[in-house]
Amino acid sequence: MAAPEAPVVVWLRDDLRVSDNPALREAVDAHRPVVVLYVLDDSGTPSRPLGAASRWWLHHSLAALDASLRKRGARLLLRHGDAEHEVLAVLRETGAAALMINRRYLRGEREQDDRVRRTAQQDGVAVTDHLASLLHEPGDVLNGDGERFSVFSPFNRALLRSGPPRQPLPAPSAIDGWPGDVRGEALDALGLLPTAPDWSGGLAETWLPGEKGAQRRLDEFVHDRIGRYAAERDRPAAEASSRLSPHLKFGEISPYQLWHRVQAADAPEAVKEKFLAELAWRDFDYDLLDTHPDLDHVNVHREFDAFPWAEVDDDVLRAWQQGRTGVPLVDAGMRQLWQTGWMHNRVRMVTASFLIKNLRYDWRIGEQWFWDTLVDADPANNTAQWQWVAGSGADAAPYFRVFNPVLQASKFDPAGEYIARWVPELAGLDAKGRHEPWTIDGDLLDGGAPDYPSPVVDLKRSRQEALDAYQRMRG
Q: Which residues are catalytic, by number?
A: 278, 281, 309, 345, 363, 386
DSSP letters, 168-208, are PPPPPS---B--S------GGGG--S--SS--THHHHHH--
Q: Are 125 and 99 in contact (CB under 8 A)?
A: yes
The least CB distance from residue 242 to ligand FAD, in Å, is 3
Q: Cβ(310)–Cβ(358) under 8 Å?
A: no
Give the residue from 28, 15, 27, 45 showing the smallest Cα distance to 125. 27
Contact 11, 37 (CB under 8 A): yes
Quote the least distance from Cβ 384 to ligand FAD, whole Å.
7
Shortest Å distance, C-beta 270 to ligand FAD: 15
Residue 87 to residue 84: CA distance in whole angstroms? 5
> What is the three-class DSSP state of 100?
strand
Instruction: Name which of 125 and 352 has its Cβ closer to ligand FAD.
Output: 352
Give burial (CB, 10 Å; 0-12/13-18/19+) of 158: middle
Question: Which C-beta is closer to ligand FAD: that of 32 or that of 301?
Answer: 301
List contacts with ligand FAD (CB under 6 A). Answer: 233, 241-245, 248-249, 278-279, 281-282, 285, 345, 348-349, 352, 370, 374, 376-378, 381-382, 385-386, 389
Alpha-carbon distance of 30 to 416, in angstroms, equals 57
Given a contact cutoff of 8 angstroms between Cβ atoms, the answer to whether 96 and 6 are in contact is yes
Closer CB to ligand FAD, 37 or 337, in the complex: 337
What phi-psi label fits residue 288: left (phi over 0), alpha (psi between -120 and 50 degrees) or beta?
A: alpha
What's the closest the beta carbon of residue 183 comes to ligand FAD, in angstroms?
34
Identity of the residue, 344 or 435, whose beta carbon is nearer to ligand FAD in the bound complex: 344
Beta carbon nearer to ligand FAD, 25 or 233: 233
Spatial contact of 304 and 391, defined as CB atoms under 8 Å apart = yes
The answer to whether 360 and 469 have CB atoms below 8 angstroms apart is yes
CB burial of residue 383 (10 Å; 0-12, 13-18, 19+): buried
> Closest distance between ligand FAD and the C-beta of residue 348, in Å?
4
Q: How far is the CB of 289 from ligand FAD (least distance, A)?
A: 11
> Which residues have C-beta within 8 Å of that of residue 371, sequence separation ≥ 6?
48, 51, 377, 382
We find the least distance from the C-beta atom of residue 57 to ligand FAD, in angstroms, to be: 12
Question: Smaller CB distance to ligand FAD: residue 119 or 345?
Answer: 345
Q: Looking at beta carbons only, is 129 or 378 nearer to ligand FAD?
A: 378
Cα 78 from Cα 71, distance rounded (Å): 17
User: What sign does the CA torsion over 90, 94, 97, 100 have?
Assistant: negative
